[in-house]
Amino acid sequence: MALVAHIVILHNGFWIRTWHRYGVPTRMMFLNKQDRPGASFKLSIRSLLTHRLHPHPMVLTLPIASFDPQDYMHAEPGIQGLVDLLKWEIWRWNEAGESTCYPLPTDVQALEELEFIPSHHPIIPQLAPARTQLLENLSMFSEDLMETLLALPSEPSSYLGIKYSDIIPHLRKSTLENKILPVVCGSAIKHIGTSIAMDYVGELFASPLDVPHDSAKNAPLRMLAWKVSWDQKRGWMTYVRVYSGKLTRQSAVLNATRNQKEKVSKLLLMYASEPVEVDELPFGAVGVVLGLKFTRTGDTLVSPGAPPSARSVMQDIVPPKAVISASVIPHSHSDLEPVQNALESLSRTDPSVRYDLQEGQILVHGLGALHLEIVEGRLRSEFQANFELGKRRVSYRESLGPNYDPPHYEKPLITNNDKADIAGTSVVVALDIRPLQDDEEGSPLWDGNLVLNKAGVAIPSPESSSTANPELLIASGIATALSSSPHSSLPMSHLRIQIREWSTPSPLSLLTGASAIIMRNRIRKAGMGSLMEPYSFFKVAATEDTLGKVVKDLTEHGAELQDLGDGISDGMDEVVGYPVEGNYIPPDMLSPSSSNLTGSGASPKLRRFVHALAPLSQMLDYNSRLRALSGGHGQFDMVNAGFRVVAEPRKMEILREIGRA
């Protein structure tokens, strides 16, 4: 996370939800961009507490902005070194990016006589207290370490002599149990601190032995494709982690997520950007598989002969639904197929990218304006696609119309509305369809809809399940129908759909096409429903002298003001987070460019926080607008607030915008 302007606050909700959704047991924070003006190590640590990322962040490294004390007096930004509080050593980087490691003495007096750093450097008085508090805080989660500390003599240098090998087992155990959050820092663009961060990843993070697994030598193969990328020379590269069994080259595997057989051609181990070809990937290995044609990011791969119990799909990556889209216009007719192939390839590597064809036009959907810019750049640089990107617009939704059929009761009464002729076969799929009630909540896997099986249990999204039973085949057809309304071509949302009855055609896959036809006909018969527009909660920080301009701009763009709050411009706000007590909070002097050390004594400016609810369509360029209004000092936090039904005048504006009025 970036230290500049305390960007740590912007996506904390997303990270917390993601950690909990996928059950991430071990976490570590790398505070980046320490070399930038305005970076504050102290305020970023406080932000972790204030915005509830973890109650016990534990600082493992301290930044050294410069080895020249005068740079601290002049508040010069930068980073030239790091203090590793666990290994008790100082790292120094020169202009060429070369690093030198210096061990620190275990005597407090000797810290003032170091040859590689001046004795009056402001970091010197912070070294011993930082390590002492690190060990004392860690001992609160380890009785063995606490007994070790209590047995030490009461001298200032006692904690400095404890070896790294005696500390790391307690730190790893606390990290695996999620009792602490290890924090390191640096500047990734300058490669400062990145190697230290990766060393701690290897030391602290869970290994395959730390999670439930089949330890038998002949255990069936089971692995996760956690990344898929395209390489101009090697083709599709699928990054996998083997969770059981062993993968060999030239073998066959089954994609359990998509029920597709795949052929493995080569296996690679990646050392940075240097691949090394190997004959097998054993249990616990992370490697690259070449030759897979259908596998996407998040798929589960198993042995073709594995028993059904071993073919269960590991937790899939479910990206948020797209909220913004743009048309993709090929330069010429000959560019149409390459552009479509590039979009298909890109969606394979990035599950959050979606594209479709609407009335002969290619639309690409993303998670935001920046995401679409990344998609555009990758299509040009990685796939050499020739196209132009049209105007961005947000993704609206349509709800169910008022003329929907009443629900079936105890025994479904099959009517013509529940039948479809497909491939010369009459297929029956009885569905109950109605809008969601106020006390019902849709599933994010179904874009805000609720899809239930015959027993009334929610069905997982067909995209994240591989079991081809009749209900999931019907669910796949329902998903197809919900993706595009027959009235507006917009995705449908806020529907409750329950599968009540179905026939058993041959082949069974006809249920998918039939359910899509029946669902679409039922939506058409219900008539056009209300349109919904994506909204976001905005929290804008502005100084007192620019507050009026900011508020005026928000109201002019359809925002609903909800609250005004006061704060001080140190980046902290009124959000009630975890308490500071019991945690090490580094001093201001560690980041000289973020604090006033020149002795002028100027007081911080009073900031006001504006809370507002605004339509996303009016806020696509808000970052540049806010910079212009606040002289570059304004900041804002944006959180998705879901979809809201629009009034009739706004509905007509949207229909005209999408060419449906």
Cis peptide before 507 (omega within 30 of 0): yes
Element (H, E) at 299: none
- Look up the CATH architecture of domain 403-526: 2-Layer Sandwich (3.30)
Q: Write down the CATH number for the domain with range 324-393.
A: 3.30.70.870
Give the pLDDT of residue 460.
75
Reading the block at residue 636, the tokens are 């804002």
Contact of 170 with 145, CB cutoff 8 Å? yes
The pTM of the full predicted model, rounded to 2 decimals, is 0.69
Residue type, 472: L
CA nearest neighbour of 501 among 426, 433, 411: 411
Sign, CA dihedral 319-322-324-329, equals positive
Complete DSSP assignment for 62-128: EEES-SSHHHHHTT-----EEEETTTTEEEEE-TTS-EEEEEPPSSTGGGGG-SSS-TT-TTHHHHH
Name the phi and psi angles at 551, rounded to 5: -65, -40
Contact 531, 395 (CB under 8 A): no
The pair of three-digit structure tokens given for residue 349, joined into one six-digit string = 């590597």
- Domain 214-310 matching CATH 2.40.30.10: the answer reads yes
Domain boundaries, the chain: 26-205, 214-310, 324-393, 403-526, 532-657
Which pLDDT does position 415 carry in this prediction?
Answer: 83
β-bridge partners, 421? 426
Per CATH, domain 26-205 is 3.40.50.300: yes
- CB neighbours of residue 195 within 10 Å: 12
Give Cβ neighbours of residue 346 (< 8 Å, ≥ 6 apart): 353, 375, 378, 379, 382, 383
End-to-end CA distance of the chain: 45
Per the document, the length of the chain is 661
Q: Tell me which residues of the chain have a pLDDT lower than 50.
A: 4-11, 466, 568-575, 596-604
Rg, the chain, Cα only: 29
What architecture is domain 532-657? 2-Layer Sandwich (3.30)
Q: Are 1 and 30 in contact (CB under 8 A)?
A: yes
Determine the Cα–Cα distance for residues 304 and 527; give it in Å rounded to an integer. 47
Same fold yes or no, 324-393 and 532-657:
yes
Q: What is the pLDDT of residue 14?
A: 60
511: how many CB neighbours lie within 10 A of its CB?
27
The whole-angstrom separation of Cα 468 and Cα 507 is 12
Contact yes or no for 540/634 (Cβ under 8 A):
yes
Question: What does the alpha-carbon distance between residue 36 and residue 44 come to, in Å, rounded to a whole number?
Answer: 14
Among 6, 638, 644, residue whose Cα is nearest residue 369: 638
- Tokens (6 digits) for 443: 């599933």
In Å, how far are 138, 154, 165, 168, 360 from 143, measured between CA atoms?
Answer: 10, 19, 17, 14, 67
Residue-level pLDDT at 598: 39
